[in-house]
């Protein structure tokens, strides 16, 4: 679908928005199938969703079975819905003797092979004497013929489903890792290693604990899927609209109102969704046309929405899949990651909000009129019940229960909010079932009295929801949509498991990390020599080494982020960043958050920035120019992750400890740096800024990020000519008026 002038400044229909999302979110575009095969896929999707929902609340099966069932669903749905190659008519319904319900028999065969390989592990775990298969314990590192056949099949098919859902870039990089594992002796220098025998490699990639059945697939199948499902159901029941309406009430009336609504609503929406493209389409459908009506250029309007929506992956409490994987890598509770992400998320939105505000001041754009804003009483009179699921989820999560139990409670309360009404007694069965579950957990010691009371009262309150009830068929469609959203992240997690396995097997992360620090150290020595005057040195070698290492890693994140999902990018690069930065004394959570933040920045970095392209389709603007606008909007916070490394106190939970005064001072100076950089990007603060002044502000913004009083004084000194000029212009304008 392409937008036309008549669609550019109006509210797009749900069908048009769905087409935009399909076009720019590779995981959302699926092929049409025949009616009967479509019913089969719907049954598989609902069974897939219900399996994960029920196991989260009641009991998880052993890992090898649980991940096997998850992979089986991925293989069935991916091979049915994603064509082998994405040509012009690849997604259209095609029939013929070589197809079943529009799906080629070759894809059906791959589907069967994938399911067989995924479930073989569980079936042969305790051994199959009839076929001479020993228990898995005796086969570890010494796979039999069946293990080899199914192991090779699953490696190839996992790469294929990642290619079908996400494109060629990720599987291509994974193939490089595979080659490195198998052909270690031919690599030069420090990268050289003895090599991994093929049988050992297949065994490592196939058997649990590492490889495909490792931590990444476990996190996605056990936690991430449930939060994706919760976000989709919560949006369907009205929580997303409640966020957008309240953002309009909060920010719509002020200078550049619609653009600020875009930032605030994306921040709200990011709390329940980790998908940048989904965030862009959901909130941009309202905010982008409003921005254009107010006078914003189309490319800027789209860039604002894309830049704001990219923050969903680092916005607590429901972040992208990478955050859950981070918790497993660091062996920390997910709530710790949530707390650590608070200031990075705030910094992200402060950066975008500042650019939006300054651009509105520069263009003299006004806010929305009172008549265009939603009415506070009407919004909350109809939408208050939609907060119940989010509150229930957060209470359970921060009370120390597992993330999947919190997601189970959130999903259950969302179903009650959507489908139970006090005025329709038969529909109260949904509320009664969940209240019964909470009481049952209390009776066997699973829940304490406080949690049980909150959940039961929440279920009762939710039945008073004044909004129209959602019928069971409509909710089934919503759950089916949630499953489709989870296919791409599931395929990526399984494929990236191969990378994790190779890193653990070969130690390549430590090798490359050592290369990074050695290269940075050599360059630091050269710079140190140039900046040393007698006994006085401008920089210390250690400081230069750390800074250059951070720049190397940041550039790798941004460059590799072209075409690689944030989760996969995070997993691959943190394995390099963590060993390198650990040698330089950086706390683990700071290095992990550093990589994750730059992974989000890469989402809006041209030439590949899908959320910006989706926003461009809504804004009817040039996609590449929209991507440049989104990247420019993010420039103000590009160097912000450096602050997490230099001042881990900003993450609250760093091993270096937390000091309120240190945090407050460092946060203020960090925000000052972001504001200075944003003013430099826009060329406006209190008044227009000339080119030389913009350069001074940019340099001052960089220096502000360093968390020391000396650096802040130097930054103020650098920025002082601009500040004096700005105040002088304001005084002259006031005198003239």
Separation of alpha carbons 726 and 361, rounded Å: 14
Cis omega (within 30 of 0) for bond into 317: yes
pLDDT tens-digit map of 640-667: 788 888 888 888 876 666 778 888 888 8
Please check whether residue 149 lies inside any domain of the structure: yes
- Cβ-in-10-Å burial (0-12, 13-18, 19+) of 711 comes to middle
Separation of alpha carbons 455 and 46, rounded Å: 25
Q: Helix, strand, or coil here: 4?
A: coil
Please check whether residue 591 lies inside any domain of the structure: no
Please check whether residue 453 lies inside any domain of the structure: no
Q: Find where tokens 């109102």 sit.
A: 257
Nearest to 469 by CA among 418, 424, 403, 432: 418
Instruction: Provide the angle, in degrees to the nearest 10, between the axes of the packed helices 709-736 and 660-682.
Output: 50
**What six digits make up the tokens of 332?**
């920390």
| Residues 6 or more apart whose Cβ sits within 8 Å of residue 364 | none
Report the DSSP beta bridge partners of residue 533.
536
Show contacts of 542-545: CB within 8 Å, 24+ apart. Answer: 542/584, 544/520, 545/517, 545/520, 545/521, 545/584
**pTM: predicted TM-score of the whole model, two decimal places:** 0.86
The H or E element spanning position 100 is: strand 99-100
| Residues 6 or more apart whose Cβ sits within 8 Å of residue 347 | 637, 640, 643, 670, 671, 674
Whether the CB-CB separation of 181 and 506 falls below 8 Å is answered with yes
Please check whether residue 98 lies inside any domain of the structure: yes
pLDDT on residue 5: 42
Separation of alpha carbons 281 and 274, rounded Å: 13
Report the DSSP beta bridge partners of residue 421.
424
The H or E element spanning position 480 is: helix 472-506
The residue with greater pLDDT, 9 or 168, is: 168
Ranges 209-218, 590-599, 637-646, 675-684: which has the least confidence: 637-646
**What six digits make up the tokens of 299?**
């490319």
pLDDT tens-digit map of 508-548: 888 888 888 888 888 888 888 887 777 777 677 887 888 88
Separation of alpha carbons 160 and 154, rounded Å: 10
Please check whether residue 308 lies inside any domain of the structure: no
Nearest to 25 by CA among 428, 438, 487: 487
pLDDT on residue 618: 82
pLDDT on residue 416: 95
Average the pLDDT over 327-347 and give the result. 87
Cis omega (within 30 of 0) for bond into 607: yes
What are the backbone dihedrals phi and psi of residue 465, each rounded to the nearest 5 degrees, phi first?
A: -55, 120
pLDDT on residue 338: 87
Question: Above 50 in pLDDT, residue 6?
Answer: no
Q: Is residue 634 left, alpha or beta, with left meaning phi > 0 and alpha meaning psi from -120 to 50?
A: alpha
Q: Find where tokens 């200078």 sit.
A: 255
Report the DSSP beta bridge partners of residue 99.
104
C-alpha distance from residue 36 to each of 32, 40, 50, 73, 662 (Å): 12, 7, 21, 18, 63
**What six digits make up the tokens of 453?**
């009371």
What are the backbone dihedrals phi and psi of residue 128, each rounded to the nearest 5 degrees, phi first?
A: -130, 90
What is the number of structural domains in the chain?
1
Report which DSSP code applies to 522: H
Separation of alpha carbons 500 and 196, rounded Å: 15
Report which DSSP code applies to 685: S
Separation of alpha carbons 410 and 388, rounded Å: 8
pLDDT tens-digit map of 548-596: 888 888 888 777 766 677 778 888 888 878 888 888 888 888 888 888 8
The residue with greater pLDDT, 37 or 31, is: 37
Nearest to 493 by CA among 148, 207, 218: 218
Confidence of residue 8 (pLDDT cuts 50, 70, 90): very low
pLDDT on residue 420: 94
| Residues 6 or more apart whose Cβ sits within 8 Å of residue 130 | none
Please check whether residue 139 lies inside any domain of the structure: yes
Whether the CB-CB separation of 390 and 271 falls below 8 Å is answered with yes
CA 423 to chain centroid: 39
Of 151-160, 311-320, 502-511, where does the model show the most confidence?
151-160
Question: Above 90 in pLDDT, residue 228?
Answer: no
- The helices-and-strands tally (H runs, E runs) of the chain is 34, 4
Separation of alpha carbons 324 and 386, rounded Å: 25
Question: Above 60 in pLDDT, residue 506?
Answer: yes
Nearest to 273 by CA among 236, 237, 233, 320: 320
Separation of alpha carbons 33 and 36, rounded Å: 8
Please check whether residue 557 lies inside any domain of the structure: no
pLDDT tens-digit map of 234-268: 888 888 788 888 888 887 777 777 778 777 777 77
The residue with greater pLDDT, 480 or 572, is: 480
Please check whether residue 573 lies inside any domain of the structure: no
Average the pLDDT over 97-115 and give the result. 93
Separation of alpha carbons 627 and 691, rounded Å: 23
Cβ burial 12-23 (10 Å sphere, 16+ → b, else e): beeebbebbbbb
Separation of alpha carbons 669 and 709, rounded Å: 9
pLDDT on residue 48: 96
Taking residue 463's Cβ as centre, other Cβ atoms within 10 Å add up to 20
| Residues 6 or more apart whose Cβ sits within 8 Å of residue 280 | 305, 306, 309, 611, 614, 615, 618
Separation of alpha carbons 680 and 676, rounded Å: 6
Separation of alpha carbons 399 and 396, rounded Å: 5
Mean pLDDT of the chain: 84
Separation of alpha carbons 240 and 251, rounded Å: 17
Whether the CB-CB separation of 506 and 72 falls below 8 Å is answered with no
Which range of residues forms the domain containing residue 79? Answer: 31-213
Of 87-91, 417-421, 596-600, 655-659, where does the model show the most confidence?
417-421
Q: What percent of the chain has pLDDT over 70?
A: 93
Average the pLDDT over 612-632 and give the result. 81
């Amino acid at each position: 679908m392409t937008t036309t002038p008549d669609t550019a400044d109006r509210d797009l229909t749900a069908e048009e928005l769905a087409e935009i999302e399909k076009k720019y979110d590779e995981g959302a575009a699926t092929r049409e199938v025949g009616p009967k095969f479509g019913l089969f896929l719907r049954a598989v999707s609902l069974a897939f969703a219900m399996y994960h929902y029920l196991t989260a609340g009641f009991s998880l099966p052993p890992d090898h079975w649980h991940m096997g069932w998850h992979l089986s669903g991925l293989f069935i749905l991916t091979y049915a819905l994603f064509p082998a190659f994405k040509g012009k008519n690849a997604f259209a319904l095609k029939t013929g003797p070589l197809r079943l319900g529009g799906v080629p028999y070759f894809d059906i065969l791959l589907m069967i092979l994938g399911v067989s390989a995924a479930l073989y592990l569980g079936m042969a775990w305790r051994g199959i004497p009839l076929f001479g298969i020993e228990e898995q314990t005796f086969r570890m590192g010494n796979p039999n013929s069946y293990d080899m056949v199914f192991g090779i099949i699953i490696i190839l098919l996992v790469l294929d489903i990642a290619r079908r859902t996400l494109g060629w870039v990720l599987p291509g990089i994974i193939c490089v890792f595979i080659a490195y594992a198998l052909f270690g002796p031919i690599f030069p220098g420090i990268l050289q290693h003895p090599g991994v025998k093929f049988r050992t490699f297949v065994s490592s990639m196939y058997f649990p604990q590492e490889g495909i059945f490792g931590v990444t697939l476990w996190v996605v199948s056990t936690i991430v899927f449930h939060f994706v499902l919760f976000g989709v159901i919560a949006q369907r029941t009205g929580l997303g609209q409640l966020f957008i309406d309240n953002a309009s009430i909060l920010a719509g009336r002020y200078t550049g109102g619609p653009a600020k609504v875009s930032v605030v609503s994306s921040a709200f929406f990011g709390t329940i969704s980790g998908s940048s493209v989904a965030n862009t389409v959901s909130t941009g459908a309202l905010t982008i046309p409003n921005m254009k009506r107010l006078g914003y250029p189309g490319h800027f309007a789209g860039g604002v929405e894309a830049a704001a929506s990219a923050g969903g992956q680092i916005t607590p409490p429901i972040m992208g899949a990478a955050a859950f994987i981070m918790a497993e890598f660091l062996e920390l509770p997910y709530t710790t990651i949530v707390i650590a992400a608070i200031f990075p998320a705030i910094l992200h939105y402060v950066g975008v909000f500042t650019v939006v505000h300054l651009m509105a001041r520069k263009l003299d754009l006004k806010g929305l009129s009172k008549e265009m804003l939603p009415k506070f009483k009407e919004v909350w009179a109809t939408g208050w019940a939609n907060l119940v699921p989010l509150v229930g989820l957060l209470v359970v999560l921060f009370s120390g229960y597992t993330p999947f139990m919190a997601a189970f409670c959130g999903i259950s309360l969302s179903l009650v909010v959507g489908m139970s009404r006090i005025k329709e007694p038969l529909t109260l069965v949904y509320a009664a079932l969940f209240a019964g579950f909470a009481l049952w957990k209390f009776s066997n010691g699973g829940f304490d009295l406080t949690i049980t009371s909150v959940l039961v009262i929440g279920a009762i309150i939710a039945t008073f929801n004044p909004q129209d009830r959602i019928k069971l068929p409509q909710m089934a469609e919503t759950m089916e949509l949630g499953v489709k959203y989870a296919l791409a992240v599931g395929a990526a997690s399984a494929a990236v498991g191969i990378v994790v396995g190779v890193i653990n097997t070969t130690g390549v992360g430590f090798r490359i990390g050592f290369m990074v620090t050695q290269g940075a150290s050599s360059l630091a020595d050269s710079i140190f020599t140039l900046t040393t005057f007698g006994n006085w040195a401008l920089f210390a070698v250690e400081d230069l080494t750390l800074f250059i290492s951070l720049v190397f890693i940041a550039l790798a994140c941004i460059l590799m982020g072209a075409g690689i999902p944030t989760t996969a990018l995070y997993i691959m690069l943190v394995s390099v960043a963590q060993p390198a930065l650990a040698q330089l004394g950086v706390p683990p959570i700071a290095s992990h958050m550093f990589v994750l933040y730059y992974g989000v920045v890469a989402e809006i970095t041209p030439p590949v920035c899908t959320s910006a392209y989706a926003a461009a389709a809504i804004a009817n603007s040039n996609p590449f120019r929209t991507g440049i606008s989104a990247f420019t909007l993010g420039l103000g916070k590009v160097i912000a992750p450096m602050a997490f490394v230099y001042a881990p106190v900003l993450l609250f939970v760093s091993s270096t400890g937390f000091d309120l005064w240190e945090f407050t001072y460092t946060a203020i100076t960090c925000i000052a740096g972001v504001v200075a950089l944003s003013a430099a990007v826009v060329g406006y603060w209190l008044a227009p800024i000339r080119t030389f002044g913009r350069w001074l502000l940019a340099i001052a913004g960089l220096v502000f990020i360093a968390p020391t009083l000396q650096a802040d004084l130097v930054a103020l000194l650098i920025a002082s000519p601009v500040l004096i000029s700005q105040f002088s212009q304001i005084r002259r304008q006031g005198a003239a008026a």
